[in-house]
Chains A and B, each alone.
Chain A
Amino acid sequence: MAGTNERVAAALQGLAHEASTGKDGMCVVRVAAGDAKECIRRLKERAGFETNTFVTGVDRFPKSPRHECHWQFMSVEHADRVRVYAALPGDEPKVASIVDLYPGAAYAERECFDMFGIVFEGHAGLKRLLMPEEYDHFPLRKDFPHHGIEPDRLYREWDRRRCERAAVSDHSEIADQ
């Protein structure tokens, strides 16, 4: 889309970033993890990208830094999109949440946390979305076996809760029958 790169470059004036055109012709911006939120704020306020399309993660396992977080934004007015990504250093990746800018990103960030273990700092309700809350693993990471891992901790957690329920319940025969 003609003009997108220029608009993005103007919006990100003075912020360290690396813009390019992806294979699909989309404007792709690479920023440092610490600058990601500022970059996204500028894109929203100055370049008119008012819709967050998705938030997701990428695991480039043998490489380092291993994790990346990707955001995609759309501008209805200009009919174009931009993709922002940041490499997240360390084994416990974290990045600033954009929920205050795009409330709709809350679920996407929860899913991303669930699948990749990326912690979004500032997200008020960051808990697992798809997997049970007691699950120990992050299934879309590259070192996760696709058969899955027997969730032993789930058994223990359920067991504990059942005992708790039995202790407080009037119908204690639920657990004691």
Chain B
Amino acid sequence: MGSLKPAGAHGQDEFGFLATRVDELVNWGRKNSLWPMPLGLSCCGIELMAMIGPKFDLARFGAEAARFSPRQCDLMIVAGTLTWKMAEAARTIYDQMPDPKWVIAMGVCSSSGGMYDSYSVVQGVDTILPVDVYVPGCPPRPDAVIDAIMKLQKKIEREKPIELLLSGDAVGEYDGGTKRFVRAPNHGIPTTRSHEYLAPGEWKDR
């Protein structure tokens, strides 16, 4: 982004001007003012708090303003084990966040179900949410999540908001938050942990 502020000595107007591309300006604004929605579901939540606190100081990246109202947030950090019982609430919170919005899956539980290979745990929040960045770790260190936020900032830099706006598809590639409860597209990858029904005689060791 180019910034030119004419000096008063040139005798032009006092207010100055700014020359840039709209896309870059918008992306610059978005990436440096991510407001996280801290969905602290288990132990990852503790690391999340540490990350926002003074020692790791997320304010350096403009993302320290954690808000507990989804209306004020544009970055959902799913920190911890998402159970099926909580899944509807998580999805509702995501839907209530205004566009544009991003999701970080923090920790293995939210990335893939982690060690909870169980009927009660959602095997990866990408089952119900479109995830931008996955952070491994159990729980990940705050540094790792900060790294994820920096990666997300790089991702936001590459977005083309004006193009999206003009194409009339402002929601983006993922038709999230619309009426139908659709599964996130990146969940199409078959895993060995499929939820196929097995009769007792067909149980097999993994």
Contact = CB atoms under 8 A, between A and B. Distances in A.
Interface in A139-177: 139, 142-151, 154-156, 158-159, 161-163, 166, 174-177
A155 B119 CA distance: 15
- The secondary-structure label for the interface of chain A is loop
Interface in A51-103: 61
B10 interface: no
A154 B84 contact: yes
Nearest to B183: A155
A142 B119 contact: no
A132 interface: yes
A145 B197 contact: yes
B181 A162 contact: yes
B84 A146 contact: no
B120 A130 contact: yes
B179 A139 contact: no
Contacts, number: 74
Nearest to A152: B195
Contacts of A146: 118-119
B179 A163 contact: yes
Interface string A121-135: 000000000111001
A162 B96 contact: no
A174 B71 CA distance: 10
Interface in B114-142: 117-120
Contacts of B119: 137, 139, 144-149
Given A131-B120, A177-B178, A158 B200 contact: no
Given A144-B119, A158-B91, A150 B178 contact: no
Given A159-B181, A166-B179, A143 B200 contact: yes
Contact of A143 (B181, B196, B199): B199
Given A131-B84, A148-B119, A154-B84, A159 B195 contact: no
A150 B180 contact: no
B95 interface: yes
Interface string B88-121: 1001100110110000000000000000011110
Contacts of B87: 132, 154
B82 to A, nearest CB: 12
A147 B88 CA distance: 20
A148 B120 contact: yes
Given A144-B119, A166-B179, A175 B95 contact: yes
A132 B183 CA distance: 19
A154 B179 contact: no
B65 to A, nearest CB: 22
Interface in B127-178: 171, 177-178
Nearest to A145: B198
Nearest to A171: B96
A175 B200 contact: no
Nearest to B85: A132
Contacts of B179: 162-163, 166, 175-176
Given A139-B120, A177-B98, 5 more contacts: A130-B85, A145-B203, A150-B195, A158-B181, A174-B95
Interface of B: 84-85, 87-88, 91-92, 95-96, 98-99, 117-120, 171, 177-181, 183, 193-200, 203
Interface of A: 61, 130-132, 135, 137, 139, 142-151, 154-156, 158-159, 161-163, 166, 174-177
